Amino acid sequence: MPKEKYNPYNNFLKVMDNAAQIMGMQPDEYVTLRYPERELKVSVPVKMDDGSVKVFEGFRVQHSTLLGPGKGGIRFHEHVDIDDVKALAGMMSFKCAVVGIPYGGAKGGVAVDPKTLSRSELERVTRRYTTAIIPIIGPQKDVPAPDVGSNAQMMDWIMDTYSTNIGYPVHGVVTGKSIEVGGSLGRNEATGRGIMIITRQILSARQKPVKDAKIAVQGMGNVGSISALLLAEEGATIVAVSDVSGGVYSSTGLNIPEITAFIDGGKRPLTEYSAPGVTHISNEELIASDCEILIPAAMENQITAANAKNIKAKIIVEGANGPTTKEADEILTKRGVTIVPDILANAGGVTVSYCEWVQNIQAVLWDISNVNDFLAKILNKAFDEVYAASLQFGCSLRNAAYIVALKRMSTAHRLRGIFP
């Protein structure tokens, strides 16, 4: 009998069902959240630089708009499919709900490897995809943002394409834009800053200081590198970091500013970096490295049943979306490892996206202190609520985060009712 294909959306449903069961919620109270409100699949035909025409598949899923407009990134990756997008949209609903910002959850994607495209091809793919999803996006409907494989420049193209079709500038249709076209100060580093705030909070809950805490960070992209930099500034000892090429380790701590300058935003691989006392390790060795806190900030499914038993960290702060499989989660929980879930740990990005959206629709500007103060206030409050729920129900932080979010969404559902 063939092995059943892993379905990320089914896994999302299991996590939601488990949280509902723990809190004694009846199926009728949240059954609508098991079904995305809208799923759109589009073809994206593009003329390539050599004159040929390629057609890419694109998706946009709106999981829930109970609490506000859909919110979620657009992923450009060759392995994007509808089940991935559905699962990520569902997680966005819970992420926005757990931090208490007035957004629903959505996600988009195009099945393409952006690294194989020229700049002009990437622009044409982005603009054609935007044109295809225009009927369902907008500042009060669904607000996209960057994700894996996309960036601020692509958000600028989305804003321009939408505005050109509408007939006037609409800055609030997308977040994560360049500052010059309506982006927000602090947005670029928001997810990494949020991870620093949440790491500080979980250590405080354990009555431990950040200073000298040994931390390993898997993934030195935007999220991982900023997390490592800010935690190092807080006094933590970053003992290991990695990128797709491999990692480096030093028991006495790495020079994170030097490393981030060396890799230059991913232009140079970590395998070429060297310094006294630094050894080269694989990503698997990083996951199993001798540290107090592990921050997986790369891709999904990095911590699995196969490597969970090797993890030495007592705390895992999920910087990436879905870095821990369900099987690994169960193994680590039984071993007493605390996992701060992705929908709480990496919610800094969507929180500051909210700041950007508010500035756009109100035509106001916030300075960096306003943004960072708002981010800290929202995340500290969300952590306290999740931690309190974990104590109340005697459950993991992941279940507690889903409980907090599910309560908010089910209450909104009850108050709004079902039309007609």
Burial environment of residue 10 by CB neighbours within 10 A (0 to 12, 13 to 18, 19 or more): middle
Alpha helices in 268-347 (DSSP H): 283-287, 326-334, 342-345
Query: CA 65, CA 220: separation in Å to the nearest integer?
Result: 33
The conformational region for residue 6 under phi > 0 = left, psi -120 to 50 = alpha, else beta, is: beta
Marked catalytic residue, from 107, 177, 326, 407: 107
Query: Quick check: is 211 catalytic?
Result: no
Residue 356 CA to residue 176 CA, distance in Å, equals 8
Helix (H, G, I), strand (E, B) or coil at 281: strand
> Where on the phi/psi map is residue 219: left (φ > 0), alpha (ψ -120 to 50), or beta?
left
> Which of 35, 33, 87 is closest to 59 using CA atoms?
87
Token pair listed for 89 = 């949209």
| Residues contacting residue 78 through CB under 8 Å, at least 6 positions apart | 111, 112, 113
What CA–CA distance (Å, rounded) separates 128 from 110? 11
Cα separation, 200 vs 167, in Å, equals 46
Label residue 253 left, alpha or beta by phi (over 0 means left) and psi (-120 to 50 means alpha): left
Q: Catalytic residues, which ones?
A: 107
